[in-house]
Every structure is written in C-alpha cells, then in structure tokens.
Amino acid sequence: MDSITIELNRFGDPEGVLKLSEKYLRAIGNAPIVEASMELKQKDFRRLMKKLDYDRFRLGSPEAVRREAEEALAELIEPISRLLPLPDSASEELQQIEVVTGALELAQLPLEVLEENRRDIVLTRRVRQPWPRPPVVVEPVPKVLFVWAEPFRKNSTTRRETVPHEAHRALLEEVLADWLDPETPEKTLVEIGNATFDRVKAALRNPDHGFTHVYILAHGRYDDEAVYLLLEGDDGHTGFHSPAELKGIYKNPDLPRPGTVILATCHSGEVDPLEAGGTLGQVLHEAGVPVVLASQFALTQAGSSDLIEIFLALVINGEDPRRALRACRDGLRSRRVETFHDRVALVGYVHLSEDFSENLPGRKLRIALARLEAASRSATRAAIKTTSPSASLAGIRARFEHIRAELQELHRAGIHKEYEEELLGLEASALKREAEVFWNTARDAAPNAARKAPPEEQDAHVGHSREMLRAARHAYRNAAALSRDHHWTTVQSLVLDAAVDGTLDGREWDWIAACQASRDAAERHPDPLERLWGLGSLAELHILAPLVGEEIGFTGAEIDTMRTIAVSEGGWPLDIIIRQLDRYLTWWGADDPWKLPATVLERARVLRDTLTTKMEAHRNVHH
C-alpha cells in the first residue's frame, strides 16, 4: 500500500488551543516544508463539534439531530482539507494518509472526515514512539484479552453502567472459532470481567502474557481535568483512570506490547481539556502499541460491534490493519442510520514496521497454516463427540472448503514466487487433513464416538476421504514441480504416490533430490526447528527407500538428534512427526484401495514406536 505522510509540528508546549492564528510547519513526503494553519475560528469549531455530540440525540428529534450532524461534517471537510491537502486525483488502489503530530489540540479535529468523499484513502494517525521500539507480540495464532467493566452508578448499589459484554463475548468467540480449543480456551481468549485497573495492569505487565490483541469494552468520560476510562473501583463503584495511568502500564521499555489495542470506549480518542496530556488511545500508541483504535466521540453499541466483526476479524486473519480500518469505517458508513457518525469518530493510530508490506504475504501464509492446524484439531474433536456424524461432517467439510477458498484467493491475488510453493503445499495439506477427518470418523477410529453412522453414510464418507486424498496428491505434485529445493512438498508428493499406487516407478530421481534437500536442511539450516523438519523428511524417505531400491542410512544418531531438538521446543514437533508416521499404519495401510507394501508399513511401525518410546521416556523422567 502506498503511503503519504503529512507531519505537522509547532514550537512550544504540546498542549495548545485550536485557533485561527496558530501556525504549523507542514511536511508532506519529500516536498518543501511550508507553513499551514487551521482556518477555522475556535467558536465555529466548538459550534460544529457540539452538533456531533451524541447527547443531543437524547434531547431532540433523532432525524433532525442526525441531519445537523451530517451538515457539520460537511462543513468541516473544507478547512481540514486545507490543513491536510490530498492528492488531486483518486488512486485505483487504497492509499494511506498518515498524519503525524504531537500537537494535542489537533487530536480534537475529526480528521477522518476526509474519507467521506474519497474511497481511495484511509486516514491514520501517528505520534512519535519510543526508540528503540519496544518488543511487540506478533504471532500467527491469536491470543485476545477481553476486558469489560460495569461499575455501579454513582450513589447506587443496584444499578450498573452496563455494557453489552455477553454479546461481544459471543462475537469474539465467533471470530476466534477456528482457534478456540474447548479444553484450553484461555490459550486463545482471556476474559477479565468487571475489571479493576489493577487486574488489567497485572495481566498486561506479565512479560509472558502473549496477548496479540486487547479489546476493552468500557465506558469513557471526561470532566474539567481529564479523559477517563471507567473500570470497577475497589469498592465496587466507578474507578476513573486517566491517560497517564494507562501509559504508566508500559514504563518498562522491555515489556512486550500487544500488536493491537481496541478501545470500545466513548471519548477514548478525544482530548478535552488539553491538560489531560493526550487521549486514551494516543497515550497507548505513544507507549509503543503499534495499532490502537479509539473513538473521538461517544460510540454507539451498534458501531462497537463492527470493531470486532469487521476490523478484528480481518486483522486476525492477516489483513493489513489499514485496509481493515477502512473496511470498518465503510461498514459503519453503510449502517449510518444505526451508527450515526461513528465512521468519522473512529480514530486509528497506526505505526507499522518498515518491512510490514513486504512481509505481509508470508504472514498471511503463517496464519493460514496455523488456522489449518487449529481447524483440523477442532474438526477431529467435533467428529468424535457428535451424536450426528453426518451433520457434523457437513459443517467440517464447509470449514475446510472455506480455508481452501481463502488459500486459492491468495494465489489468484498474485503472490511472491518465494511463497507460491508453500501456498500450494498448504492447499494440499488442507485436502489431506479433510480426507483424514472423514476417514477417521467413517471408520470409527475414535473409540469414544457417540454414535456410528449407518453403513451407507460410512461408505459415502470413505468415498469423500479417498477423493480428497487423490486431490491432495495432485496438489502436492503441483507444489513440488516448482522447485526441488524445498524437501517438504516433494516428500509429501512421494508419500501419497506410494500410498495411492504402491510404487514410486519413474520418481527415483525425485526421491534422490528430496534426500539431498532434506539432508541439507537437517545438517546446515541455522534454525534447529528447520533441522528437525529436515530429519522428519529423511525419516519418511527412509520408510519409502524399498520402493526405489536405495538406502539412506537413517540411524539411531538421527533419531536422538530429533528427540533432542524436539525436547528443546517442548516436545510438540516430534508429536507431529509421530502422528504423520501413524497415518501409514492406521489410515493408508488400513484402507483397501491404498497399496503400501508390507516393507514400507513395517519401517513406519518401527520408526513410530521408537520415537514414541523415546518421547515417553523423556516425559516420564520430567513428570
């Protein structure tokens, strides 16, 4: 995405008052620095901002108030356009208008109104952050902290300042459906209800918190001294927490910041009065959080839902947060009858790394792979526990189809060549995993299945499993055809050729090339985990060796190295390799059409049992 940076600076204290005479130094890209000012008198500014006050909807006709608010927004476009001039011609692609300033009085301006007549821009804000930049939690698997508070109202012990936390919890669970594990939901979604500031601070100050996203649903309020986040007080009443307190959470420069914080909080993007020292959203961004969403005005409940359903859903799936922000504002705009002017109130503070766009395709693939792993685990659990196998498998099939469609869309969008093989490999993996789920369910491989399907349904499921496995073989072949340098796709194409045909005739040179690539990875790659995956490929090539009349000398030394690396990573990588070896015995060696020879199955059994014994011995010693 192209980006145009507009920086506004002035001399003196950062706390100023918006006035006609105030002069700024404006820098746009590499253009000469010029003087600029906000050509709007303070009294006119206050008049227009009052028309955007949501409290007026409680006092007058909603239609009349809405009309006046839209008129105020239209009147603000011209003076803000002079302060922030946009390119004359519209772009075919979305481009970022990044406004960088430390002048607090400019935080009052609804700069986002510039998007009203331009579908080709997304306006973001940025303030200068610490240098060196603090660490940020960036993982393909999301972990969301959900904070909400309903403190008692003033002078009441029965009435609370309510928020739609149950509805928003349901939305978060829907967005995170592919990731949530019913047995360990806290790995994906952590909830702090009726939150006190101390509980929130403790959660975020834990250096191992691992939160990729934080979503705060609470009321916001301002008075003559500051803007406040309203949380539960120690006595059950309202605790008022200023921007300075929020910023104080991150005094430690080495404390990992979440990648995104969303403040579904009224006035969290507003600074009134200026002595507050910044907005709630601004200070979190200033403390090193790369992406912060806040609201400059009061926020409607309908609008707050879009922060989850549109913005968070897109970002969690790997979308550029700038595109997600524009999509969210467009969604709010399409429902302005319900959301009023939330689309202009939504402020986005964004500071991405310089290589963000370059690394985005790879990140999307990492997320797609992690989702595929999670969906496969979830599908298997659902198939085991359901009382209606056919109904469950229909939903599972739809989920795998959705994942494959997303991967294919990435491919059609045009992806860098270095990612293309991995993308095709992921498509093949999705097909293989779907085939496995249908096989395990149809054949009642899980002894705890609640109800076996009727014979005709089992036959249909087995048929679908076989169809998907043949499709996976074709997909792995396509991926392997791009290059012999990456061992994983070549080895998997050989494995499925052996399973389906019982032979590797004509693919002997592919086996030899895969041995060399796997050996290079196992012995020379600087990443221990990549060395382990190389050894895993060598293990499978050892199993297939009788089919090409060769041997590779896979010995106890390699097995010990695999165990050592896996133990250093917590054991899970070797569990994945053992599960792959188990497929030879419980799936490809057990389904009638597949033709794996007995010599191959015996090698798979010996290697699986050896690795399993070594991992069990390690776990017994350490537990």
3-state secondary structure 516-555: HHHHHHHHHCCCHHHHHHHHHHHHHHHHHHHHCCCCCCCC
Residues with Cβ within 8 Å of residue 337, at least 6 apart in sequence: none
Question: Stretch 420-448: mean pLDDT, rounded?
Answer: 76
Rounded distance, CA 477 to CA 510, Å? 11
Question: Which residues partner with 146 through β-bridges?
Answer: 191, 215
Phi first, then psi: give them for residue 209, nearest 5 degrees.
-60, -40
Residues with Cβ within 8 Å of residue 581, at least 6 apart in sequence: 539, 540, 543, 604, 607, 608, 611
Contact 534, 562 (CB under 8 A): no
Dihedral, 603, 605, 607, 609 alpha carbons, nearest 10:
-160
SS3 22: coil
What's the confidence (pLDDT) of residue 601?
Answer: 95
Omega before 321 within 30 of 0, i.e. cis: no
Domain spanning 3-126, CATH architecture: 2-Layer Sandwich (3.30)
Rounded distance, CA 164 to CA 153, Å? 16
What's the confidence (pLDDT) of residue 331?
Answer: 97
pLDDT(448) > 50: no
Rounded distance, CA 293 to CA 197, Å? 19
Question: Which residues partner with 6 through β-bridges?
Answer: 28, 99
Rounded distance, CA 223 to CA 432, Å? 59
Contact 415, 362 (CB under 8 A): no
Q: What is the pLDDT of residues 52-106, one digit of tens each?
A: 887 777 676 778 888 889 999 999 999 999 999 999 888 889 999 999 988 777 8
Question: Stretch 146-155: mean pLDDT, rounded?
Answer: 87
What's the confidence (pLDDT) of residue 22?
Answer: 72
Rounded distance, CA 584 to CA 546, Å? 15
pLDDT(384) > 70: no
Query: For strand 213-217 and strand 260-264, is the pairing parallel, antiparallel, or unpaired?
Result: parallel
Class of domain 136-352: alpha beta
What's the confidence (pLDDT) of residue 524?
Answer: 93
Model confidence at 245, pLDDT cuts 50, 70, 90, reads very high
pLDDT(200) > 90: yes
Rounded distance, CA 375 to CA 371, Å? 6
> How far does the chain reach from its first CA to its final CA, in angstroms?
51
Mean pLDDT lowest for which of 206-210, 299-303, 569-573? 569-573
Rounded distance, CA 438 to CA 458, Å? 9
pLDDT(45) > 90: no
What's the confidence (pLDDT) of residue 513?
Answer: 94
Question: Which residues partner with 136 through β-bridges?
Answer: 257
Single-letter amino acid, residue 199 = R
Buried b (16+ CB within 10 A) or exposed e, 263-298: bbbbbbbbbbebebbbbbbbbbbbbbbbbbbbbbbb
- Angle between helical axes of 455-482 and 417-442 (0-180°, round to 10): 160
Question: Which residues partner with 258 through β-bridges?
Answer: 137
Mean pLDDT lowest for which of 31-35, 212-216, 352-356, 399-403? 399-403
Rounded distance, CA 126 to CA 342, Å? 20
Residues with Cβ within 8 Å of residue 351, at least 6 apart in sequence: 126, 129, 285, 290, 291
**Looking up tokens 């349901």, which residue turns up?**
170
**Looking up tokens 């959470």, which residue turns up?**
249
SS3 128: coil
pLDDT(447) > 50: no
Which two structure tokens, joined as six digits, stand for 343? 């689309």
Burial of 131 (0-12, 13-18, 19+ CB in 10 A): exposed
Q: Which of 584, 69, 569, 580 is nearest to 337 (CA)?
A: 69
Residues with Cβ within 8 Å of residue 209, at least 6 apart in sequence: 137, 145, 203, 256, 258
Mean pLDDT lowest for which of 240-244, 450-454, 458-462, 552-556? 450-454
| Neighbour order of strands in the sheet with 227-232 | 219-222, 227-232, 238-241
Rounded distance, CA 206 to CA 56, Å? 42
SS3 155: coil
Phi first, then psi: give them for residue 240, nearest 5 degrees.
-100, 120
Between 236 and 130, name the one with better pLDDT: 130
Mean pLDDT lowest for which of 327-341, 562-576, 609-623? 609-623
